[in-house]
Structure 1
Amino acid sequence: MTGEPLRRVYGADHDDPDPGPEPGHEYVELVGGALDGQLLDVTGWTAEQRAGGALLITEFGLYGEGGRADYEPRPGDTARWDWQGDSA
């Protein structure tokens, strides 16, 4: 098998046969934490919304099902958002 590994988009169903990015969408890479390596679709987000980062629901973080993972844009590299911690 050649090429890059399949990149999963945050929120894609686990049984989705094609959970990867869609053409025409804009994504940021989530780095660290429970969602490490996933892509977050930020298509249509304003610069202000992107600057604020996101609290993303995840069942794999410190607080289990319903917990949230906090991601914020990496200074100097806004294509990657770094994990800041988990919250309930």
Structure 2
Amino acid sequence: MTESMRPRVYGADHDDPDPWPKAGRTYATLHGGPLDGLLVDVTDCPPAELAEGGALITEVGAYGPGGRAVYGPADPTALLAWHWEGDTP
């Protein structure tokens, strides 16, 4: 897989030379919305928090810089696939 096809990790700086997943870490994949295709490191999240998802800061959502994109699992049995639920300030 070429680097242009590898999923990047949410929160990595745009100029990070290694914005890819790290061995030994667990990631949720973001589906839809402004962060589509990125991975979120959920290694230290308890299952209850994984089931809630999260509001992730983004500059490209409906509320511009500082706004958040809300993601959560669409299926409680698939906690590592988070789907976009909308944007919030």
The percent identity for this pair of structures is: 51
2:41 aligned residue: 41
**Paired residue for 1:77?**
78
What one-letter code is carried by the residue in structure 2 that aligns with 1:78? L
Question: How far apart are 1:52 and its partner, in Å?
Answer: 1.0
Residue segments in structure 1 that go unaligned for 5+ positions in a row: none
Aligned to 1:62: 62
Q: Point out the structure with the larger helix share.
A: 2
Root-mean-square deviation (Å): 1.0
> TM-score, normalised to structure 1's length?
0.93
Within 2, Cα distance between the matches of 1:45 and 1:80?
A: 14
Q: Secondary structure at the residue paired with 1:17?
A: coil
Give 5+ residue unaligned stretches, structure 2.
none
TM-score (norm 2): 0.92
- The answer to which structure has the higher strand fraction is 1
- Matched residue count: 86
